[in-house]
Amino acid sequence: MRTYRNAIFKLIAYAWAAPNTALGILLGLVMLVFGGRVRVVAGVAEFHGGKAGCFFASLPRPLCFGAMTLGHVILGTCQQELAALREHEHVHVRQYEQWGMFFLPAYALSSLCEVSHGRSAYRNNFFERQAYAVESTEKCRHTDPSSGTH
């Protein structure tokens, strides 16, 4: 019964995030046209590389990025960046599952609020702080000798 319930909740989460996922798939297909690759990791399509990946990596700050998430799609500049940023980006996937189509406007409003208070639109963004907090917790768990894992 629990597995059935989990499957239903996961299906609802995919549907709730579907508008953003569709945008991610569209951009991912553009990446494929320009030599990118795709693979599925933990139920998330990860597009990376090609000329589009090189283009995004070469943009000036603050426009450049290593990876970004749209629903259940992660767009990365290269496979190495995806591997390094996977935990962080999967936090955003879970945020899309919670916020659905409202995630992008909420993210933008959070950035706007931070800028209006003289803070960083990216680093102080509510959603980024959440992702960095989880990422830091995961890194501590992997390196803490008392946890029994490495």
Lowest-confidence range among 9-13, 92-96, 107-111, 144-148?
Answer: 144-148
Residue 29 scores a pLDDT above 50: yes
Q: Average per-residue pLDDT in the chain?
A: 90
Q: What is the pLDDT of residues 86-132, one digit of tens each?
A: 999 999 999 999 999 999 999 999 999 999 999 999 999 999 999 99
Backbone angles phi, psi at 24, to 5 degrees: -65, -40
Q: Say what the pLDDT of residue 139 is.
A: 56
Q: Say what the pLDDT of residue 2 is.
A: 77
Cβ–Cβ under 8 Å, residues 32 and 62:
no
Q: Say what the pLDDT of residue 63 is.
A: 82
d(CA 119, CA 19): 30
